[in-house]
Amino acid sequence: MAFSDQLLNRATAGLVAVIIGFASSIALIYQVVITLGGTPDLVASWILMLGLVMGTTSIGLSYYYKVPVLIAWSTTGAALLISSAQGYNLNEAVGAFMFAALLVFLSGITGWFEKIMNRIPSELACAMLAGVLVTFGIDVFNFMNDMPLVIGLMVLVYFVGKRFFARFAMLSVLIVGVLLAWQFGHVDTSALQWKMSHFTYIAPSFNLQACISIGLPLYIVTMTSQNLPGIAVLKAHNYKAPISASLNVTGLVNVLCAPFGAYSINLAAITAAICMSDEADKNPDKRYWASIAGGVFYILMALCAATLVGLVASLPQALILALAGIALFGTIANSLQQALTGSQYTEAAIVTFLVTASDLTMFSVGSAFWGIIAGVCTVMITRKG
């Protein structure tokens, strides 16, 4: 493969991962800020800081460990904040963000989280990853109800691309999807305007009730619904995950940058899987360059945060989520194959997959955590000898 082709594949994987990461949940960030009494300008400020932080940490960790580590904001954390942060002001919320980040840092320093993860069979990690991602694959076809021609042609281009021009399959899907959405009037650019973003400092106020009501749940969902699947993605692709180091870096950076809008950052799972796919690079040892490319695109998008908020809002949500699902077809297939083929943990893996793919939520903790718990319990019950 020519170097230029490799470079394009890595850059495309990084770009697609970042676009999906931004576009699929930027509305949640917007709602969090508004819930806390902020303004659209403050939303842009938060996106600016989050993008810079995610970009620099993704580049640094990926380059140092030569592993495709992609950092993302906590999507489940943002969803949690929309409800749990009501009744608190921005200063109290920032104090709670710093408290949650400190707990993440301590988890990395003590190493307890890494010790637990290293004892979980890789088959269960693969099954959990498949369970997390399968909904995105199914949604590709669910969204055909809204945009049948656009998404149908995107799927067709993907499989034709895999057959005839595999290196450029996802880039082709991205281009075709956006052009078709534009052609059929699904893109609304009326509110787009160029605008510079700037940092806004919010002094933290440490309120015990806010730390318990906001910070503690934010820590739990970030670890169980974000970092846990993020580590599972790395393990499923046979990478030695720098677990404690990632928690140390993200936790410490999060503490320092929370007053500027970095409410919670963590290991990416869904978007990171795109950077670990065969489309990113045929050589697994070189796929970390896709995550580095993703980090560069994070920074570029951060510098255009105010305009980006409007640009993302102009694209139909169905298009963005369909793009995510198509990009993950290969990862879903590979994860299921590794989880279920010739393994002594087949039953435990299928339990993990089904629980994770469900809508199970207990004690405000999502199904990814309970999937692993169910799988481990199944192993313990069915183990012979």
What percent of the chain lies above the pLDDT cut of 90? 30
Measured distance CA(53)–CA(298) in Å, rounded = 9
* Residue 375 confidence (pLDDT) above 60: yes
pLDDT, residue 97, reads 95
Range 332-352 average pLDDT: 85
DSSP letters for 325-374: HHHTHHHHHHHHHHHHSS-TTHHHHHHHHHHHHS---BTTB-HHHHHHHH
Structural domain contains residue 71? yes
Whether 378 is in a domain gets the answer yes
- Residue 4 confidence class, pLDDT cut points 50, 70, 90: low
pLDDT for the residue numbered 5: 62
Q: How far is CA 91 from CA 39, 69, 100, 155, in A?
A: 15, 31, 15, 46
Q: Average pLDDT of the chain?
A: 84
State how far the Cα of 5 lies from the Cα of 187, in Å rounded to an integer. Answer: 30
Domain assignment present for residue 155? The answer is no
Q: Does 3 score more than 60 pLDDT?
A: no
Instruction: Find the mean pLDDT for residues 124-147.
Output: 85
Residue 235 has a pLDDT of 84
Q: Which two tokens stand for residue 109?
A: 């320093």
Q: How many domains does the structure of the chain reveal?
A: 1
pLDDT band at 356 (very low <50, low <70, confident <90, very high): confident
CA nearest neighbour of 297 among 308, 310, 286: 308
Report the percent of the chain where pLDDT is more than 70: 92
Residue showing tokens 């970042």: 18
Residue 274 within any structural domain of the chain? yes
Tokens standing for residue 200: 């806004």
For position 62, what pLDDT does the model report? 94
Residues β-bridged to residue 362: 365
pLDDT at 161 exceeding the cut of 80: yes
Res 312: pLDDT: 65
Higher pLDDT, 103 or 86: 103
- What is the structure's pLDDT at 293? 92
> What per-residue confidence (pLDDT) applies to 129?
75
Phi, psi at 241, each rounded to 5°: -75, 125
User: In this predicted model, what pLDDT tens digit does every residue of 31-70 receive, in sequence order?
Assistant: 788 889 888 788 889 999 999 999 999 999 999 999 999 9
Give the integer Cα–Cα distance in Å for 224 and 117: 11
Name the residue range of residue 342's domain.
3-147+191-382
pLDDT at 291 over 60: yes
Span 98-108, average pLDDT: 93
Would 284 be classed as within a structural domain? yes
The mean pLDDT value for 220-249 works out to 85
Model confidence at 261, pLDDT cuts 50, 70, 90, reads very high
What pLDDT score does 192 carry? 66
pLDDT for the residue 209: 86
